[in-house]
Structure 1
C-alpha cells in the first residue's frame, strides 16, 4: 500500500533502490573475480553483507552495475527520480528558511543535501538515466509505471548480466544461490537453522575446525538498508522527518476541522466524524512510530517543535509560507502569492502549552481543583461568548480557558474510581504508580466512552509527583488529538483556523447540539418508540420473560437479559452524560457547573462522536450474540423468503429483504436463498454438524471469555455460530483505525477499502483471453464469487479516484480569483500512478465506508437497532401463535402441545413444519401477520433519517467557512 507520509515514501524508495544496487553488485562480484578488471575506483571488490553503503560509493557501484547489466529496469530510474526530488524539495524549503533567517545547522544540512543529491544525480546519469528520460519523453512511454516493484527489486534475477561464457558450474551455483536468497530476511519463508550447537567431544589435534558462519545479507532486515552519511546527514534526515510530520499535522487538522464543520452545519452524524478523526489520529501515530524508530529519544512533541522552529517559535514566524498557485491549461503550476503561516496555531503550539500548563497545575495538589492562580485565569468561561466580535487575543484566551477546564473534568471523571477508593474506603493507592492505560486493572470499571486511551495518557501525566517534567513523554499524536477535540467545539461556535486565511469567523451553528446523535441513539426519554436503545432493552427483556414462560424455562434468556441490563446501565450512566453531573462524593464538581454540570459532554462534539462510536459497536456485537442464541431471526427470514417464493407475499417486505441481503451468508448456505426444499435449506444451515465442530466452537467461546480484557472482548462475534459478520466500524476499531491492518478475509469486496485493495492488486495476463486481469488473491476470488466480472474489478481504481473526490464542494468554499485553483498537496515531487497518494484522498475514500456503515443507505449495519427488530420478530410470532391457536391449526397443535420433542423449541418446530408442508391455512396466517403492517428498515434505525448521496445536506453558512482544500507548505 502507498505511504501517505512523504518522508516514509522517501525512506521506502531509498531502501528499495539500495536493495537492488547492493544485490546487483554482489552478484557481479561473486560471479567471477576475473571479470573485475578495470573496476571503477571506489567500487567494492568484496560482497556487501551489511546492507549499507556510504555516499561516496554510490557512483562507483553504479558504474560497476552499468558495465555488467543492461538494460536497467525502468522502475530503478523512477526510484532515483523520486529520491532526488524528495531531497531537492526539502533542500528548497530549508534554503528559503536560511535566506530569511540564517541558521548554521540548517546551512550544514543543506550542504549535506547537496552532496547527496549530486551523488545520486551522477549515479543516475552513469546508469543511463538521461538516455532513458529522452526515450520516455520521445515515446511518451509510461509502461514502466505498470512494473511491479517487488518483481523488479526482490526477484533480482539480473537476466541482462554480462559475465562472459567462462563461468564454471560451481560459480553458477553460487550465483543461483545468491539469487534465491536475495529477498530480505523477513520476506523469505524458508526455515533457517536455529543456531543451536550440537553437543560433542572436543576435536582431536589436527582435526579441521568447524568454520564459522560467513556473514551474508540473509539476516539483514529490509529496514536496515541505508546510505551512510556524515553527522550532518543524520541531522538532515531528522529535519526531513519532522518537516514531513508537521506537514501532515497541518493537512490532517484542516481535514478534521472540515469534518466537524459538516457535523455542526451540514448534519453529518457525529459518530462518522468521530471515526474519521480517529483514522486521522491513527495516521499521525503510524507516521510517528515509523519515523521515530530511527531517532530514539527524539520522539516527543517538544523535541520536534524545537527542531522545526529552531527552539524559538517567535523567531520562526515567517520561516514557513503557504502558497496560492495558478494552474494553466497544460497543468503547469505557477505560484502567484504566498502567505506566512501562523506558526503557533498551525503547529499546535498553543494547544501544547495549554496541555503542559494543565498538567503542571494539576500536579501541584493532585486534588482535582485548579490552583488559585489558575482559577483566576480560567474561571467564568462563557460558552456563548461572542467570538465574532472578540479580538484574536480574547479568542485564544477563551479557548485556553475551555481547554484547561475540560481537561480537569476529563481527569476527574476518569480517575474517580481510584480517588473514591482512597477517600471513601480507606485504601492507599499511590496515584503516580497506577496503570491508567486501557490495559490496566481499572479499565474494567466504566467511567467514559470513546476516549479512554487518551484520558489514560493525560491522567498518567497529571498524576505524577508535583513538579515532574513530563514534556519528553508527550508524543505529537497526543497534542494532535487534543487539538482535534478543541477544534470540534470552536468550529461549532463559528471559529475555524485556515492555513491560508487565518481566523475565519461565521455565526455559530444555532441548531446544533453536541449530544444530538447520542440522544437519538439512546433516547433516554423514550420519545421515539421503536428507535432508541434504552427502551429497546426494556421491551425485549419483557418479551424474553414471556418467551421463557411459554417454554417453561425461566432461565432461558437469563444471561442475555443480564448483559443487556449491564450495557444499558453503562450507557445511561456514562454515555452523553455521567454521574459526575449529579456530583460524585469526594470528587470536585464540574468546572462547568456555572453553566452546565454536564459540560464534559455538552461542550465536546468530539467526545460525543467517539463515545457514540464505542456505543454503536457494543450495541451491534451484543445484538449479534442475541440473534445467535435465539431461533426467531432464522425462522422469520426463512419463512418470509418461502412466502415470497410461493406467492403468499406479492412483494418482499423491506425489513426482511434488507436483512436477507445484509446477512445472506449467515442465513443461507453460501448466501444463496433456495427456490425449493425450503425446510432442507433451513436444516442445512442450522444443523449442529459434527461433534468436533461443536466442541471447537465452545472452546473458542471459552477462549474469548478467558482472554477478554473488557466488554468488547467478551462480545467478540468471531466466536458466534452464525452471525460473525463485523461492521465496517468494528473492523476499523479492531485494526486500531489503520485500514491496512484489516484482514482481507473480513473485508466486503464492494467496500471502499476492498475496492482500494483490489485496485492495487498486481495485474496479470489471463491465459485464456489474453486480457489484463487482477491476480487471483483471496479478495479477488471472493469478488468474482459475488458475481463481479473482471472488467468491473479492473475499473475499481478509476471508480475510487472519482467517488473519493468528496472534498468540501467548491460552492461552499471562499471564491478564488479568476484563473486560480486550489493547489494539490505537496508530494515531494513524486510521480506515481498509485491512487490515494495523499492523506486527504485516502480519507475521502475511507469516509465512504464509515458513513455508509453508520448513517447512509449504502450498507448501514451500525445504524439499525437490532433489539427493536428482535422485538418485532417476537411480536410477529406472538400474533401468528394467537391466531393459529384459536384456529386449532394442526401444525400449531403438534408443535405446541402434542409432540414433546417439538415443544422444547416451539417456534423453531412450527417453522420447520410450515417450511416442509403445504398447510395453506398456516401459511396464509403467517403471510397476513408479516404484512400487519409491512415493516421497513427505516422504522428501526437510531437516527431520524439516513443520508442520501444525492441530497445536499449543507447549509448556507458553510459558504463562509475556511478553505479546507489542500495547500502547499
Structure 2
C-alpha cells in the first residue's frame, strides 16, 4: 500500500529495516549453532530491538555476509534522514524556547541517529554511498522479495549447508534463549567465524549443535510489528512529537493546495464538484494519516492534544519556534540554497483560530440548545456583512470577520441538520433527548434528506452542539474535523479574494466579478428551465409522461411506476435541499437563518465548499439512479445495438454522436467483451442478455433494487451498481465515494484506463528483466494488461511508469500512447510539470491529488464525462425515438412490427421491443419486411441526430490544457524553488 505521509513512511521503512537485520542475524546464529559453535547472545524472537542491539546485530552480519542488498542501504538512509530532519526541527524549538521534555527528546534523537549511522557504516554504507547509491537497477528491488529471501537464504558459513537447516529447523531450537537478550558486542568482537568458545553453558564439541529457542520466531511476527525500542519514555515522546509534526506539516501542505483548487473554482470557472471531490480526498488523507499515526498513542489523537504538544501548551510562546524556509534549486547541479526564512504564523497555520471558533460555537449552542446565539455571542456575530471590504481591513479585522462567518454558518448548518428531530419534538409532541440522538449518517434520521454533500460533517458538529452544557467535547474533535472546517472556510474567503500563504501571509486580490457559489448547482438543476435539454429537474418533468405513455401503450399501468416514483423522490430532494433549503423560507419552530439580513439562503450562498460537495453528491446520485433504471428497461440497450448495425450495414452514413459516445464510454454495458459486433448482430444482442440472465431473461420492471434494499444503509447502498446486470460501470465520483475517498483502496480492476490514477499505479508495478533479451518490462497486472490491449508496448509502459511526477512540458509523449487514447481524450497532467518526488514510484499526498483532480475533471466535465451527461434527458430521447419508430412501423403495417406487437405476450420469447430489435438485427434468417423496418429505423435515427453536448448539464466541457494552465499561481512556488518547515 502506498504511503503519502513522511512519518508513516519512516515507520514502514523502520519495520522493514528491523525485519531484515533481526532475521539475517538470526539466520547466522542458527547456522553457527548448527556448526557446533557458540553464537552470540543476540537471538531475537520478538521483532523488537533496541538501537544498541541493532548495532550489535549489524556487526555480526558484517562478519558473515559479503554483500548487503542495495535496498537495505536505502532503508538505512531513509530512516536516518527522517530522524535527522525532525531532530533539526526540535533543536530549533529548544533553542527558541528551552523545554526539558524537548531537550530530552533531542538527546534521544541524537543517540538514535548516531547509533543507526554506526550500524550503516559497519555494514558498508559509506562505501555504497561513495560508489553511487542510486543506480537505476537498484530502484526496482522488490522490498518483499529482499526481506523474504533472507528467511531461507544460505549464508556462506564454514561447513554449513542450507539444506541442513531447511531439513530440520526444529533441531536448532532450544528453550533457554531470552526474548530480549541484551547485546554483547564486546564478546562478539572476540569471536572468530566457525570457532566454538566456552560459554555459560559449558564447552561444546564441534559436531554438537547449539540449542536455540523453540518459542515463536520473528518470522511469525507481523511485519508492521517490527520496531526499534528506545529507552524509557523518551522514545514514545520522540515518536509522538514526530507524528504530530508530520501530521501538521501534511495539513498545512494540503490546505495550501486546496486553496489553489478553490481559487480556480472562483476565478477560472473550474467546476465546483471537482473542488468538492478533491477536498473530500484531502480530508480522507488527513483522517487516514492520523489514524495510522496514533494507533500507538491511544487517547492522544484529539486536535487539542496535538496542538498542546506542538505548541507546548502556549501558542503565543510557540510563535517564532517554527520557520518556513524558501530554497532555490540550481537547475544545473541540483544544489539547494536557502533564499529566506519566514516565521510560521502559529495560530493561523496550525488551525488554532478555527479550532477555538468551533469550540466557542459549540459551547454557545449548548448553552440553550434553542438554535439561537446567546446575547454575549450576538455582540460578536450579529450583523455580519458578506460584502465587507477585506482589502481595506487589518489582519485582525479580517480574522474577526471570518470568526463571525464561521459561527453564523455553523448555526445554520446545525439548525438545518437537526430540524427534523426538533420539529418532531415541538410540533408532534415527541420527546427525543437531543444529547442521545444518533446524528450520524448511520443513524435512524439519515433517511430524511436535509443536506447534500456534507452529512457526515454536519452530523458530527450537531452531535457536539446538542450535548448538555459543560460536556467535555475537546477530546472528541479530531485533527481531520478541524482541517475540514478550515477547508470549508478557506473556500469562502478565497472566493472573496482573501487567501493565506505560509510565506506571504494574508494575500488580498480583487474578488471575482461574476462568481456565485451556486453557479454550477444552478446549471445542474436549472430551476427556471432556461436551458432546454440541460437541467435535471426539467428532464424529470419530461420523462415522466413518456414513461406513463409507454405503460399505457403496453397495457401495463404499473410498468414504470417504480421508475417514476424514484425520479420524483430525487426531484423533490433536489428542489428542497440542494442549493436551497426549506430553511430559507422559514420552518416553524426553527430559528431563522443567521444570514437573513443579507441572504436567507446563506448556508449555501456563502459556501462554495458546500455547493461543491453537494453538487458532487447530486451528480453521483443522478448517475446511479439512471444506471439502475437503464438496467431495468430495454430501450438504451436495444437502441445502441440497432445504431451499431445500421452504421455497420451502411443504413446510416455517419454515426449519431450520442450513440457512438455511449458505445465508447460504456462498452461493456452494451456488448460482450466490450466490442461492438461487425456481423451476427442479433446473436451479439441475445448473447449479452443470456450472459447475465439465462436464455429467457427479461428486463426486470417490478421494482427498484428490491434485492439490495434490505442490506443498504443509505441511498448510495440502495443504488449499488454491483447488483445491476448490464450497467455496472462506475463514474469516478461513484468509485471514489465507494472507496471512502481513499483512492488507494480502489482495486486495479476498477481503475479506468486511460487515466492518471492508472498511470500512477504503473509507477509501483515491479519491473522485470527478460533473461534472454535483457529488455525490461512491467510485471503483468490488470492495469498493465488493459494498457497492452489498448496498443501500448512494453517500452512505453516502462516510460510511463518511470516518468510519473518527473515530467516537464518539454517531454514528448510517445506516439503509441497518444494513438491508444480514445478520440478527444487527453492524458491531462501527463505532460504537465508535477511536484518532484523524493523517490521514484512514490507520490506525495499533494501529487496524488494532482493526478486524481484531472481524472475527476475528466469525469465531471472533461474527456470522459460520464457524470456530466443528463441521462434522464437521454432516456426521454430514447423513449421518443422508439415511439416514433413504432408509430411509423404501425402506420406501414410492417410485418416485423405486427409479429412483435400483435401476438399475445405469452407467445413471445422476449418483450415486444426486444423481439422487434432481435428480428431487425437478424442476418441468419431474413424476415419479411426487415429491409423496410431497418430503413424506417435509420430515418428516425437521422431525424433525431443528437450528440453528447446537447445533453450535458454545463454550457461546455473543459479541456485538460485549460485547467493545467490556470492552477497554482501566486501562492505556490515554481519548479526551481521549494519550501520546508
- TM-score, L = length of structure 1: 0.90
Residues 110-129 of structure 1: matches in 2 within 5 Å? 110-129=106-125
Q: Does 1:754 align with 2:758?
A: yes
Query: Which of 265, 278, 281 is the matching residue for 2:283?
Result: 281
Query: Which of 40, 44, 50 is the matching residue for 2:41?
Result: 44
Report deviation, 1:275: 0.3
Indicate the residue corresponding to 2:956 in structure 1: 945
Residues 596-745 of structure 1: matches in 2 within 5 Å? 596-687=599-690, 704-745=708-749
Residues 869-908 of structure 1: matches in 2 within 5 Å? 869-898=874-903, 900=905, 901-902=907-908, 905-908=911-914
- After superposition, give the CA deviation of every residue in 1:768-817 in whole Å (9 maximum; x if it has no partner): 755222112233233334444333322322454367999xxxxxxxxxxx
Measure the CA separation in 1 of the matches of 2:5 and 2:110: 23
- After superposition, give the CA deviation of every residue in 1:434-477 in whole Å (9 maximum; x if it has no partner): 11111111111111111111011111111111011211111010
Indicate the residue corresponding to 1:322 in structure 2: 324
Indicate the residue corresponding to 1:236 in structure 2: 238
Q: Does 1:860 align with 2:865?
A: yes
Q: Does 1:586 align with 2:580?
A: no
Measure the CA separation in 2 of the matches of 1:168 and 1:346: 57
**Structure-2 change in CA distance of 1:78 and 1:688 (3 Å):** closer
Measure the CA separation in 1 of the matches of 2:340 and 2:55: 40
Report deviation, 1:214: 2.8
Residues 487-636 of structure 1: matches in 2 within 5 Å? 487-636=490-639
Secondary structure of residue in 2 paired with 1:795:
helix
Measure the CA separation in 2 of the matches of 1:700 and 1:791: 48
- After superposition, give the CA deviation of every residue in 1:380-428 in whole Å (9 maximum; x if it has no partner): 0101111001111111111000000000010111111111111111111
Report deviation, 1:844: 0.8
Asked if 1 retains the 8 angstrom alpha-carbon contact of 2:453 and 2:610, the reply is yes
Query: Which of 468, 474, 493 is the matching residue for 1:471?
Result: 474
- TM-score, L = length of structure 2: 0.89
Of the structure 1 ranges 786-795 and 72-81, higher mean CA displacement relative to structure 2 is found in 786-795
Asked if 1 retains the 8 angstrom alpha-carbon contact of 2:533 and 2:873, the reply is yes
Asked if 1 retains the 8 angstrom alpha-carbon contact of 2:881 and 2:944, the reply is no
**Structure-2 change in CA distance of 1:526 and 1:769 (3 Å):** farther
Query: Which of 414, 417, 420 is the matching residue for 1:417?
Result: 420
Measure the CA separation in 2 of the matches of 1:643 and 1:886: 22
Asked if 2 retains the 8 angstrom alpha-carbon contact of 1:31 and 1:175, the reply is no
Indicate the residue corresponding to 1:446 in structure 2: 449
Q: CA RMSD in A?
A: 2.7
Secondary structure of residue in 1 paired with 2:611:
helix
Indicate the residue corresponding to 1:197 in structure 2: none
Asked if 2 retains the 8 angstrom alpha-carbon contact of 1:44 and 1:61, the reply is no
Q: Which runs of no fewer than 5 residues in structure 2 stay unpaired?
A: 174-212, 811-832
Indicate the residue corresponding to 2:852 in structure 1: 846
Measure the CA separation in 2 of the matches of 1:689 and 1:166: 60
Measure the CA separation in 1 of the matches of 2:271 and 2:160: 72
Asked if 1 retains the 8 angstrom alpha-carbon contact of 2:705 and 2:719, the reply is no
- After superposition, give the CA deviation of every residue in 1:194-245 in whole Å (9 maximum; x if it has no partner): xxxxxxxxxxxxxxxxxx9833335422222111102212111111111101
Indicate the residue corresponding to 1:307 in structure 2: 309
**Structure-2 change in CA distance of 1:285 and 1:458 (3 Å):** same
Asked if 2 retains the 8 angstrom alpha-carbon contact of 1:896 and 1:902, the reply is no
Report deviation, 1:70: 2.1
Measure the CA separation in 2 of the matches of 1:398 and 1:944: 35
Measure the CA separation in 1 of the matches of 2:770 and 2:522: 54
Asked if 2 retains the 8 angstrom alpha-carbon contact of 1:515 and 1:605, the reply is yes
- After superposition, give the CA deviation of every residue in 1:279-299 in whole Å (9 maximum; x if it has no partner): 111110010010010111110
Report deviation, 1:564: 1.0
Of the structure 1 ranges 746-755 and 251-260, higher mean CA displacement relative to structure 2 is found in 746-755
Report deviation, 1:335: 0.2
Report deviation, 1:915: 1.1
**Structure-2 change in CA distance of 1:338 and 1:581 (3 Å):** same
How many residue pairs were aligned?
909
Asked if 2 retains the 8 angstrom alpha-carbon contact of 1:262 and 1:954, the reply is no
**Structure-2 change in CA distance of 1:488 and 1:22 (3 Å):** same
Q: Does 1:62 align with 2:58?
A: yes
Asked if 2 retains the 8 angstrom alpha-carbon contact of 1:759 and 1:795, the reply is no
Query: Which of 891, 913, 917 is the matching residue for 2:919?
Result: 913
**Structure-2 change in CA distance of 1:586 and 1:119 (3 Å):** same
Measure the CA separation in 2 of the matches of 1:693 and 1:145: 55
Indicate the residue corresponding to 2:839 in structure 1: 832
**Structure-2 change in CA distance of 1:942 and 1:798 (3 Å):** farther
- After superposition, give the CA deviation of every residue in 1:636-694 in whole Å (9 maximum; x if it has no partner): 10111111111111111111100001111111110111111111111111237666998
Asked if 1 retains the 8 angstrom alpha-carbon contact of 2:32 and 2:38, the reply is no
Indicate the residue corresponding to 1:258 in structure 2: 260
Q: Which runs of no fewer than 5 residues in structure 1 stay unpaired?
A: 180-211, 807-822
Q: Does 1:9 align with 2:3?
A: no
Asked if 2 retains the 8 angstrom alpha-carbon contact of 1:504 and 1:962, the reply is no
Measure the CA separation in 2 of the matches of 1:844 and 1:805: 15
Asked if 2 retains the 8 angstrom alpha-carbon contact of 1:897 and 1:903, the reply is no
Indicate the residue corresponding to 1:967 in structure 2: 979
Indicate the residue corresponding to 1:220 in structure 2: 221
Asked if 1 retains the 8 angstrom alpha-carbon contact of 2:364 and 2:373, the reply is yes
Indicate the residue corresponding to 1:94 in structure 2: 90
Measure the CA separation in 2 of the matches of 1:336 and 1:782: 47
Indicate the residue corresponding to 2:814 in structure 1: none
Report deviation, 1:590: 0.7
**Structure-2 change in CA distance of 1:760 and 1:903 (3 Å):** closer
**Structure-2 change in CA distance of 1:711 and 1:166 (3 Å):** closer
**Structure-2 change in CA distance of 1:699 and 1:394 (3 Å):** closer
Measure the CA separation in 1 of the matches of 2:802 and 2:51: 40
Measure the CA separation in 1 of the matches of 2:692 and 2:356: 62
Measure the CA separation in 1 of the matches of 2:604 and 2:699: 44
Report deviation, 1:713: 0.9
Measure the CA separation in 2 of the matches of 1:743 and 1:955: 32
Report deviation, 1:607: 0.3
Measure the CA separation in 2 of the matches of 1:18 and 1:56: 12
